[in-house]
């Protein structure tokens, strides 16, 4: 019986149990449209279902919980293509790194309420792709869905149709441009990086991040940021503090080129 009790105690002190410990804080952080209980179940399931992630999270629980706070404030699902949880070596050991996926950025665009449709597509060598800036309001992309092979990736494109019917700037990236973005990624050489485990998704993310410079992202996320600042200033009661990271990590997404938490992430885009 004592061995069983010890096993339960060990299990309950792990990263998944820490999520439960701070359940109320995460519930307060997620946007109002997100089901907090479901979000927490996803976070717990992502860790308990992957031994590598569980060990990396246990190596520095403070880093792990901080990454989850980012996902919570953004209202993105941890452990999915909205918000990847990946092991990353830091100081000779693996810790958890959160990376916003392309589906997460698309979700933020939709959540802002200005766009009715967001198109993000990859183009392969055997597809037909036509787009002339200044002449065409959007690309023409034809795919032979029943052909034997679409060929290798050659590019990606993204645009949004706004609720008033207008079409946003169309972003088109070729392979060279995507590779330039990949070269800036801190995690590009990691076996766990989405660049190596889900390359096409990272091509799509590279493109939709550029689109996010031209369309609104989440207004509610900005309100959550202001709320967090108010908590720090003492205007609102703050929940109990989470454990702090042992080793500091850059809070920016290592596969990003800038923030995603603004109404317009590029000042020039709003001019």
CB-based contact 243:61 (threshold 8 Å): yes
Q: Is 247 a residue whose pLDDT tops 70?
A: no
Q: What is the pTM of this model?
A: 0.75
Distances (CA, A) of 201 to 2, 34, 89, 104, 151: 47, 24, 22, 11, 16
Of 72-76, 184-188, 197-201, 233-237, the one with minimum mean pLDDT is 233-237
Phi, psi for 72 (deg, rounded to 5): -65, -45
pLDDT score, position 258: 46
Within 10 angstroms of residue 170's Cβ, the number of other Cβ atoms is 18
Listed by start position, the domains of the chain span 2-101+217-257, 104-215
Show Cβ contacts of residue 166 under 8 Å, excluding neighbours closer than 6 positions: none
């Amino acid at each position: 019986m004592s061995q069983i009790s010890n096993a339960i105690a060990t299990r309950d002190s792990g990263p998944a149990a820490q999520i439960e410990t701070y359940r109320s804080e995460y519930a307060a952080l997620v946007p109002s449209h997100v089901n907090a209980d479901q979000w927490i179940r996803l976070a717990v399931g992502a860790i308990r279902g992957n031994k590598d992630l569980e060990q990396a999270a246990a190596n520095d629980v403070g880093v792990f919980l901080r990454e989850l706070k980012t996902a919570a404030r953004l209202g993105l699902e941890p452990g999915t293509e909205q918000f990847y949880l990946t092991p990353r070596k830091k100081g000779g050991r693996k810790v958890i790194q959160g990376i916003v996926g392309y589906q997460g950025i698309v979700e933020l665009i939709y959540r802002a309420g200005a766009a009715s449709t967001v198109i993000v597509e990859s183009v392969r060598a055997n597809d037909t792709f036509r787009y002339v800036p200044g002449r065409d309001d959007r690309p023409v992309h034809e795919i032979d869905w029943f052909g034997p092979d679409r060929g290798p990736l050659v590019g990606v494109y993204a645009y949004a149709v706004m609720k008033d019917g207008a079409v946003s700037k169309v972003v088109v990236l070729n392979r060279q441009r995507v590779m330039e973005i990949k070269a800036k990624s801190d995690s590009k050489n990691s076996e766990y990086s989405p660049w190596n485990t889900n390359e096409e998704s990272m091509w799509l993310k590279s493109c939709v991040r550029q689109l996010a410079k031209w369309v609104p992202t989440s207004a509610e996320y900005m309100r959550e940021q202001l709320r967090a600042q108010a908590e720090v200033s003492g205007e609102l009661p703050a929940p109990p503090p989470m454990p702090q990271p042992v080793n500091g990590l850059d809070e920016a997404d290592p596969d990003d080129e800038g923030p995603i938490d603004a109404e317009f992430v590029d000042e020039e885009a709003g001019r």
